Structure 1
Amino acid sequence: MKAATRLQLMLMMFLEFFIWGAWFVTMGTFVLKNLQNTNDGHVGQAYLCQSFGAIIAPFIIGLIADRYIAAQIIMGVLHLLGAATLWYCSTLTDFSAFYPLIVLYMVLYMPTLALVNTVSFNQMKNPSKEFPPIRTMGTLGWIVAGVLIGWLAWESNHKLDLTFKMAAGASLVLGLLSFTLPNTPPGKRGQKVTVGDIIGLDALKLLANKSYLIFFLASIAICVPLSFYYNFTNPFLNEIGMKAAAGKMALGQVSELLFMVIMPLLFVRLGVKKMLAVGMAAWVLRYIFFAYGNVDAGYWMLIGGIVLHGVCYDFFFVTGQIYTDNLAGPQFKSAAQGMITLATYGVGMLIGSYMSGPIVNSYKTGADTHNWTSVWLIPAGIAVVVLLLFVLLFKDRNAIKQEDLATAAAAH
């Protein structure tokens, strides 16, 4: 790959995740502080946008990008439309106007997560070696967005509308940059693509494997407590008085990078079942830390809960992607990944977002205060139940090769 192309792809990936991290982390606080007459139920409702985007994105990719339009072109159009949508969102003060716009934005944005990978892989001869440095720039973009929001004190100064403007500006830049990226023509031009192909129905035969079925159901269930983290960690940290909360939350992405590096070593020693179990146990510990942490003597617990993101995400979701990839084999590999993504970020997060808002709202103790100990013990309890059922029922001891781990980690 030419050096100029590599720099283009790295900038593309940086901006892709900078955009998401710029508004998504603090949206819960924005909904509660910047929009009129809102409560915690509206926060959960707002975060449904990710699930709707995840459900609709495969159809945009499968029916349009894979068949008719070059990946870089459709990505440019989506980001330019997204820039206008985000900017308009920043001007709104009413939830009824904000909500359909943010759902529309995620329908535009979620397909680009696959498109940036498509553009990248199309330029590579050895993706397992060439892709990780480029994908790392995406995580760096998310981190920089969080640190920047914290440094500018937009949370404490009630200027979170600027996060949407910042994301809109980055989306405009990436939209224009996309048209200069190397040509990535449709990979399935002229081929017949069915709805079953798009949502991965061919991979349903994997569910005949009892252990994979247990993993599949556990993946959906663990996304319920995951929703509590995504939706309410930033409002929680701001409410209890943590300064530059968005910047502190970026430590979760730093942790994710570090654990990704050491995962191959741990994987050889622990295997699939223990890796998945450790990931779920980390969810339990994270929420216990949040339940009993504070900005005084318990500050270390808050930071610990954030830093555990690397274990929570990498050990369960990345291991799960590897397990799915290995079990599916080359014939159903893409279908299987599509199926598990739709199940987790679509169905699982959808259930979690619907549940989390009313639950948090039921523990309000004042106009702007909550009994957060009781709130966080609920997702901790859900994670405990999922963990125990998984440990008891999951029996698959199939080994996963080191090279399979390296390839899947690179794709992540």
Structure 2
Amino acid sequence: MTVSLAASLLELALGLQLGATGSAGRNRCTIEGLTCRPREDGAFEIGIERLEAMALRIASGAHGLEVERIDVQGLAAQVRADGGTARMVSLQAREAAFSGLKLHGPVALPPQVRKLREAMQAPAASAPAAGVAAGQARDDAWRLDPLAAAEGTVRSRITDAHLLFDADVTVPIRAGGIDFNDATVEHVGPDSRMGVSKMGLYVDAPDGRSYLYQFAAAPVAGVTFERRGALLGPWISERGSLRLQEFAESMLRQGRRGPGQGLTEQARLLLGRTALSGELRLGDGLVAMPGLQVFVEANEGGGHVVALHAESVGRGLTAEIASLTARDAVADWGGFALGAARLKAALSLQLRVDDSQMRFELALADGRAEGLRLEAAPAASAPALPTP
């Protein structure tokens, strides 16, 4: 089938704006084994033995999806014509292999996101052993189960900081938590100490205490606050600790007023001069946010190693996983609900701040997905979630 006809069919069925990636403005799309037959309900059923697309770009509002190459096997779609306009109702595919897949756009956390459609739920036998069943996410349903067993170390270098001079910060993470008694802040002169109080995360330097992040209210989930010595003396006997999963989920549920909420002005300046690196081994479990759910499985290495790095934390951060294994993925995007029974790929997530606007780029390389399902969202539904 010719490129123009194949692309036209895709654009007609998906109702999305298709284009080419790169400056050359060229793409390729081939279809093999095409069948089409009418259904009794007035819809058409389209079958494709194999669909291959290269240099493809799909735009949906402010967000875009780019694909260097995708090879889909065993595809079946239902298309309905309403008022002279053809729209895809549902799509299934046996498997797909892809490379160079990138989803990008602004980060936005809508105050309300619809419940994912029950039609997209995975079979009960393959549902996550713990947590919310697929299709039951609420607008506050943040779940970060893999953080519960996180192990690793995060290091940062603060260059020419007025408070800390040139400081080297080391934060060990053990069994999914941070014990600030083990965190170190090294620089010229007496070293500083990190900790957490009811007011927020702080650094005690030789010239006094400064808060990096201030809590809106205490108590905060997942936090054990600092403790002072006997008789309310000035000496800190325990610097406090964080349970990463509970703390991160709590902050995300409260963080709808935009990125950076709670950061002090001094912290913003420090983050602009802070380089970061680290490596974390995550456990398995459910990852859920408004409009997205996926169950992360332990791979052959016994977990997923996440490499973190940033030249300036204030301008952005990159997280990379060399081999991600997941199942029962369900997501809303571009007016569609997308599901995959299994997924394996190399993953890179980049967050960057441009003029106070946070943007993301989620890249998947050398990936394979099985049991793909795509459902058109009801007309009255809220906009789809753009974040990964």
Task: Return the structure number with greater relative CO, CA threshold 8 A, min gap 6.
Answer: 1
TMscore range, shorter length = under 0.3
TM-score (norm 2): 0.23
Q: Which has the higher strand share?
A: 2
Q: Which has the higher helix share?
A: 1
